[in-house]
Amino acid sequence: MKSVKVLGPGCPKCQQLMKATQQAVNELDLECDLEKVTDIQQMMSFGILLTPALVVDGQIKLSGKVPSVEELKKILAQ
């Protein structure tokens, strides 16, 4: 099962990424552990400079933007 984390303090873009990621997961019928991380220390442990960020199985897949649901589906299907 994949581990998917959306990193961000709760800003509108972070909320958009969480919503779009949830939609992509649902459309792919993907079994994963989807988590929203708002803790600054936890976010810093990934070394991201811009939020929101998407981490899949411990690897940063994107940072600083909100991609389309189709783009997210491509990232998550890998």
Instruction: Give the start-to-end residue ranges of the domains of the chain.
Output: 2-77
Please provide the DSSP assignment of 4-73 as one string.
EEEE-SS-HHHHHHHHHHHHHHHHHT--EEEEEE--HHHHHHTT-SSSSEEEETTEEEEES----HHHHH
Catalytic residue among 9, 10, 11, 64: 11
pLDDT in tens, 4-26: 999 999 899 999 999 999 999 99
How much is the mean pLDDT over the chain?
95
Q: Which fold has domain 2-77?
A: Glutaredoxin (3.40.30)
Answer yes or no: 14 catalytic.
Answer: yes
For the whole model, what pTM was predicted? 0.93
Answer yes or no: 11 catalytic.
Answer: yes
Catalytic residue among 4, 14, 18, 53: 14
